Structures are given as C-alpha cells and as structure tokens.
Chain A
Amino acid sequence: KAGVTQTPRYLIKTRGQQVTLSCSPISGHRSVSWYQQTPGQGLQFLFEYFSETQRNKGNFPGRFSGRQFSNSRSEMNVSTLELGDSALYLCASSLAVGEKLFFGSGTQLSVL
C-alpha cells in the first residue's frame, strides 16, 4: 500500500512569490493534515481537512491556505513568501478524525 506522497520534495523560491504544495494521502484515508517543521519551533499544526471541509486551523497568518479535493488529495498554498516561511512542510493522512497520522516525507521549502 503506497504511503503519503508529497510533491515536490524540494523547492526554492524568493521573497514575495507564492507556492503550492501537493499531498496525496494513503488510499482510503479521508483526513489530511498539514504541519510546518522548523528547527526553532518544531512541528506546528497548520490545518486539517476532512471530506473537502477544513475542520481545524492553527495559528498561522492568512497567507497560508489549503484545500482538499473529492479524491482526498490536498494542496496548501503560501502567498507572499517571507524568509521565515523556510521550513519542512509535512502532510499527514488518517482514516478518520482522531486516528493515528501517517506522514509523508515532506516538502523542504527554502525562501531566498
């Protein structure tokens, strides 16, 4: 069974640009969550989607947004990139809300 797939694996952008990251969950998983991981702040929750609806949102500015499609695939978008947005962005899927999360390998975003 394929795991959580995130694309691209690495991304380099400049300040002010926007970026879209993609996540394909494990087949049959309907819940997708996004986390930001940095050396200083660790893993921080961005948002969670279930059946195309955002169920929960973390304390990030409105520049961070996401969506989920009918096939459970998800995308997150960051607009007007700042240097501090450089991080590993992790997507996780689960069968249902409250179940254990399965993480992808992440997208390493560098903002120059």
Chain B
Amino acid sequence: QVQLQESGPGLVNPSQTLSLTCTVSGGSISSGSYYWSWIRQPAGKGLEWIGRIYTSGSSNYNPSLKSRLTISLDTSKNQFSLKLTSVTAADTAVYYCARDRNYYDGQRGIGVHYFDYWGQGTLVTVSS
C-alpha cells in the first residue's frame, strides 16, 4: 500500500519561499509510469492542481504558478519536493501530494490521468 506524507513549515512569511517535501513509502518513487503531483486547497474552496514531476525528472506546472514554482525529485530518499517563491496570503492553503496514475487509452485515443493515492495534507499559512 503506497503512502504519502507531506512535511514542511506551517507558517511562511510573505515574500519568502514555501518549501514542502512529500515522502513516499510502500513503493519506489522511480518505478512504474507515475507522475507525482502537488495539489492545494484554500480553506472552504476547491482543489487546484499545482504541478507534477515524472520519474525521469521532467515536470509540468500550472501556468498561473509556473514563474514561482519548482518541483524536484530525490529518488535516493524516495521524496519529491515543492518550492514556491514570493508567496502571498493567496498561497495560504492545505497542500496535498498525490500519485498521478496515467496511461494512454489507445482504443479511445485519449490520455487517462487521475490521482489514486494522496497524502493527508499540510496547512501552510502565509502571514507575518
């Protein structure tokens, strides 16, 4: 059973960098055709996809965050990480890491991408 666990500071000063790590257990982060994603949820609001990284190290980011965002992979520690620079109060949210199961359905000619395992989430508050 794959498990994910987020860790990092719960309070970040405005204009500083938000850094979070997701530790994966129950399976190797570098095996299988999986992406590893970050998703966030402001209080009382819906889910927002932040970005993802593949086992090869290639990544995709939400265009609205791309200029401030870096997602990286540390296969030796079975972890992946998020760095978001120049944060404001609008970045206050519960941050989730998740495994992104993806494959190509040749019969329908479409990609299939969904999040099958999630961390419990960690609240990050941006405030001085």
Partners in one complex: no
